[in-house]
Amino acid sequence: RADPPIPAAVTLQRLSTPQDIDLDKVLQDLQLHRRLPFWLFYDDRGSELFRQITSTPEYYLTRTEKSILQRYASEMAEAFGRGRLWIEPGAGCCDKAAYLLSKAEPRAYVAIDISEEPLQVAAEQLASQFPDLPVYLLVADFQQSFSRVHEFLPAAPRVVFYPGSSVGNFTPEQAVDWLARLRRLAGENGELLLGFDLLKDPSLLEAAYNDADGVTAEFHLNLLQHLQDLGVQLDPSAFVHSAVFNRQASRIEMRLQITQETVVTYQQRRIQLRQGEQILTEYAYKFSLEMIRQLAADAGWQLQQHWTDDKQWFALARFTC
Ligand code: AVI
């Protein structure tokens, strides 16, 4: 597909290209700790499967968050004030921001993502929906080019928008680190709008990560295909998907279960996996308001207010520095 033309109000900056994955480190973690990183889910096929997950009947998160944004967009815009620079790390196709942009009258909208293609598609849509809105697309590996992001943005008080409960895929320590980085990105008098999934009946939580059509299972197992594409040798038929809610830790734990003895090889590394072993691939933390308040406070953010749905399944909260 040819690149679409970039509309006049849109500025595209390429700050980094997808970095080479340190595959040996990934395999070492598998060998020593029976762990694989969740970001391995997201190759092109994985991103498409995640998009499909968001429309399964069981995966209430995206639907619910959008309904909150739709319902409270004016109130949120009022709370954050007009004329701010809205920055969305990991923006993807920017569809959630669109609910707010119509009300918030931002100085500009900044979408940051490592994948350029969805950003460009989103830019076309945003430009037709909001012809006067300056849009900045920053193609960046957020971990690496955080400091350079500042060089390209107009001066205005900032709001960082981080929806989707992606904060729940970090361990609490990583989440505090990440929120502290978002605080630096937000700058002086910066604010944060953070989406997070709330604690609820474990059967609803487990259903959301074990949909009946098996889309989540396919998404999970696609990680094995991704590894194979990167040059790892393995037999996918030895792995099955599992997702269980750990009540004590307040998180869904996704694991690949080993159904028969199998070997994973990469260059000189040979990893023998026995039947019954498990490989941890993802956490998805489920929060109380107090949990999220504390995490954010540890990163220097103060909770100001939050918005939720009638069932209190999901929330978006506003924080100030
Ligand atoms: C991206 N993230 C918020 C999703 C979640 O719910 O934790 C990833 C996901 N994993 C399995 N299903 C969805």
SS3 annotation, the chain:
CCCCCCCCCEEEEECCCCCCCCHHHHHHHHHHHCECCHHHHCCHHHHHHHHHHCCCCCCHHHHHHHHHHHHHHHHHHHHHCCCCEEEEECCCCCCCHHHHHHHHCCCEEEEEECCHHHHHHHHHHHHHHCCCCCEEEEECCCCCCCHHHHHHCCCCCEEEEECCCHHHHCCHHHHHHHHHHHHHHHCCCCEEEEEEEECCCHHHHHHHCCCCCCHHHHHHHHHHHHHHHCCCECCHHHEEEEEEEECCCCEEEEEEEECCCEEEEECCEEEEECCCCEEEEEEEECECHHHHHHHHHHCCCEEEEEEECCCCCEEEEEEEC
* pLDDT at residue 1, rounded to an integer: 47
Residue of 51, 63, 165, 196 to test ligand 1 pocket, by largest number of atoms within 8 Å of CB: 165
* pLDDT at residue 109, rounded to an integer: 94
* pLDDT at residue 44, rounded to an integer: 86
pLDDT tens, the chain, 321 aa long: 455 555 557 888 888 765 667 899 999 999 999 999 998 998 889 989 999 999 999 999 999 999 999 999 999 999 999 999 999 998 888 889 999 998 999 999 999 987 888 888 888 888 889 988 999 998 887 666 667 788 888 899 999 999 999 999 999 999 999 999 999 999 999 999 999 999 999 999 999 999 999 999 999 999 999 999 999 999 999 999 999 999 999 999 999 999 999 999 999 999 999 999 999 999 999 999 999 999 999 999 999 999 999 999 999 999 999
Measured from the CB, is residue 209 less than 6 Å from ligand 1?
Answer: yes
* CA 187 to ligand 1 center in whole angstroms: 28
* pLDDT at residue 4, rounded to an integer: 52
**Interface pTM, i.e. ipTM:** 0.99
Measured from the CB, is residue 216 less than 6 Å from ligand 1?
Answer: yes
Residue of 209, 223, 314 to test ligand 1 pocket, by largest number of atoms within 8 Å of CB: 209
* CA 151 to ligand 1 center in whole angstroms: 32
* pLDDT at residue 175, rounded to an integer: 97
